[in-house]
Amino acid sequence: MSINQILPFISTAIMLGFTVYVFQRYVVRRNLAFLYWGIGLAMFGAGSFAEAYLALAWNKWVFLVWYLFGAALNAAWLGHGTLNLLVKKSWVHVVTLVLVVGSLFATYLMLQAMPKLDTAVFTTDKPISEQYGTKALDDGEAAPAGAQTITTTYRGEEVTAVRGLLPLGTTVRLTTPFFNIYGLFTLVGGAIWSAYLFWRKRIMPNRVIANILIAAGALAIGFASTLTRLGYGQYLYFGELLSAVLMFIGFRYAARPQPDEAVTQETIPASAD
């Protein structure tokens, strides 16, 4: 096995431990933020495992898990946990309802797309994130070297496209940016905002650093995914591992008791008795 095939399994193991840790915190604290984070982390772990599996072999249900949990939903659920700490609970409940309905709808759309998968295009030579989508080529745009192309009718026009597992116009793909923009805004934006609030008040330095680590971890996977779409897929697995490690350290650091808690004790002289 190459290093790029081993890294996703390491990421999966880290995310598994991370998920168990966060769900344990939910059981103890009964704070819904931990529940939403736990759901998002479980999705991240499932997506990471699916990615590792698909680097070795094909299975359409593993692909469903990868796309739905790894590419579409996990960032939104992670960010939703952060939102739970920052806004009024009544707002969170409304957004939770929207997120649950949206997630179920995305699942329905993904199930609808399953019979249409172009599985002949699958190869273990490339990360799944480089081959899941069919991409229409612009006029004069050349297909990447080695790519399989197809000429088809799309929105009433004849187009040439680089073949991918999900055909052109698959509806579930339209839902993914909504989840990811929401996830990016709430997870990274929320962590940056929290870090700023603690920093401005000059308190809890561990929370400042922890939130920066969480934001950096979330940005790491965002960058790695973007690079993959731009044709630099070799950084994806390292980006996922870095993301898992940074966010795990961030969460643990945020929960760490402060060693320098200022405890002052004043001994009041004995009263005259």
Partner 1 sequence: MSRQTHTDNKSRIPKNSLLFEKIVPALLILMGVVTLGLMVFAAGVLLGFVHF
The only residue of 215, 221, 242, 244 in contact with partner 1, by rule CB under 8 A: 215
The reply to whether 192 sits near partner 1 by the rule CB under 8 A is yes
**Measured distance CA(74)–CA(85) in Å, rounded:** 18
The reply to whether 98 sits near partner 1 by the rule CB under 8 A is no
Burial (CB count within 10 angstroms: exposed 0-12, middle 13-18, buried 19+), residue 218: buried
- Contacting range for partner 1; rule: CB under 8 A; set: 1-9, 104-112, 207-215, 231-239: 207-215
**Measured distance CA(124)–CA(15) in Å, rounded:** 23
The only residue of 104, 203, 232, 252 in contact with partner 1, by rule CB under 8 A: 203
Q: Give me the sign of the Cα torsion angle 58, 62, 66, 68.
A: positive
- Contacting range for partner 1; rule: CB under 8 A; set: 7-15, 99-107, 179-187, 231-239: 179-187
**Measured distance CA(222)–CA(210) in Å, rounded:** 19
The only residue of 28, 146, 266, 272 in contact with partner 1, by rule CB under 8 A: 266
Q: How far is the CB of 135 from partner 1 (least distance, A)?
A: 8
- Contacting range for partner 1; rule: CB under 8 A; set: 4-12, 106-114, 202-210, 246-254: 202-210
The reply to whether 154 sits near partner 1 by the rule CB under 8 A is no
The only residue of 13, 184, 245, 255 in contact with partner 1, by rule CB under 8 A: 184
Taking each helix axis from N to C terminus, what angle separates 171-183 and 74-86, rounded to the nearest 10 degrees? 30
Q: What tokens appear for 92 in the block?
A: 């969170």
The reply to whether 196 sits near partner 1 by the rule CB under 8 A is yes
The only residue of 57, 142, 145, 262 in contact with partner 1, by rule CB under 8 A: 262
Q: HSE-up of 82 (CA within 13 Å, CB side)?
A: 30
Q: Which is nearer to partner 1, 21 or 185 (CB)?
A: 185
The reply to whether 140 sits near partner 1 by the rule CB under 8 A is no
Return all residues near 48 (Cβ < 8 A) that are at least 6 apart.
8, 11, 12, 15, 70, 240, 244
The reply to whether 181 sits near partner 1 by the rule CB under 8 A is yes
Q: Which is nearer to partner 1, 47 or 133 (CB)?
A: 133
Q: Which is nearer to partner 1, 87 or 203 (CB)?
A: 203
Rounded to 5 degrees, φ, ψ at 152 are -145, 170
- Contacting range for partner 1; rule: CB under 8 A; set: 64-72, 91-99, 247-255, 262-270: 262-270
How does 96-112 read in b/e, with b if 16+ C-beta sit within 10 Å? beebeebbeebbebbee
Q: What tokens appear for 72 in the block?
A: 């579409």
Phi-psi bin for 110: left (phi > 0), alpha (psi -120 to 50), beta? alpha
Residue ranges in contact with partner 1 by CB under 8 A: 138, 177-178, 180-181, 184-185, 188-189, 192, 195-196, 198-199, 202-206, 208-209, 212, 215-216, 219, 222, 226, 229, 258, 260-271
